[in-house]
Amino acid sequence: MTETDPFHVPPPPERPTPKPIRALRGFFTVGFWTMASRILGFVRDILIAAFLGSGPVADAFLVAFSLPNMFRRFFAEGAFNTAFVPLFAKKVEGGDDGERFAQDAFSGLAGILIALTLLAQLAMPWLVLAMAGGFAGDERLPLAVDFGRIAFVYILFISLAALFSGMLNAIGRFAAAAAAPILLNIVLVSAMVLVYLTTPDGKMTNLVDPAEAYGRALSWGVPLAGIAQLALVWISVKRAGYSIQLRQPRLTSDMRKLVVIALPAMLAGGVVQVNLLVGRQVASFYDGAIAWLSYADRLYQLPLGVVGIAIGIVLLPDLSRRLRADDDAGGREALSRAGELAMALTIPAAVALLVISVPLISVLFQRGAFTADDTASTAVALSIYALGLPAFVLQKVLQPVYFAREDTRRPFQYALVAMAVNAVVAVGLSFAIGFLAAAVATTLAAWVMVGLLSRGRTDFGDVVQFDDRFRSKIWRICAASVAMGLMLFLGEILLGVFLGVDGLRYIALALLVAIGLGSYFGFARLFGAFSLAEMKATMRGRP
**449 or 24: which leads in pLDDT:** 449
pLDDT in tens, 118-146: 999 999 999 898 888 888 878 889 999 99
* Sign of the dihedral defined by the CA atoms of residues 127, 131, 136, 141, in that order: negative
Contact 434, 286 (CB under 8 A): yes
Give, to the nearest 10 degrees, the angle between helix 175-198 and helix 23-52.
10
pLDDT tens per residue, range 159-193: 888 888 888 877 777 778 888 889 999 999 999 99
Q: What is the DSSP string of 202-261?
A: G--SS-SSHHHHHHHHHHHHHHHHHHHHHHHHHHHHHHTT-----------HHHHHHHHH
Q: Has residue 102 got a pLDDT over 50?
A: yes
Q: Say if residue 20's pLDDT is above 50.
A: no
State mean pLDDT over 86-104.
75
Structure confidence by residue, pLDDT tens digits, 409-432: 788 788 889 889 998 999 899 888
Band the pLDDT of 355: cuts 50, 70, 90. very high
Using 50, 70 and 90 to split pLDDT, how confident is the model at 337? confident
Most confident residue range from 12-21, 262-271, 534-543: 262-271
How many beta carbons lie within 10 A of that of residue 348, not counting itself? 28
**Residue of 433 and 323 predicted with greater confidence:** 433
Instruction: Please report which confidence band the pLDDT of residue 401 belongs to, taking 50, 70 and 90 as the band edges.
Output: confident
Residue boundaries of the structural domains of the chain: 23-539
pTM of the model: 0.68
Give how far Cα 212 sits from Cα of 131, 295, 326, 441, Å.
20, 19, 57, 32
Distance of alpha carbon 356 from alpha carbon 414, whole angstroms: 33
Nearest CA to 335 out of 484, 505, 134, 543 is that of 543
Residue 373 has pLDDT above 50, yes or no: yes
Q: What is the mean pLDDT of residues 209-216?
A: 82
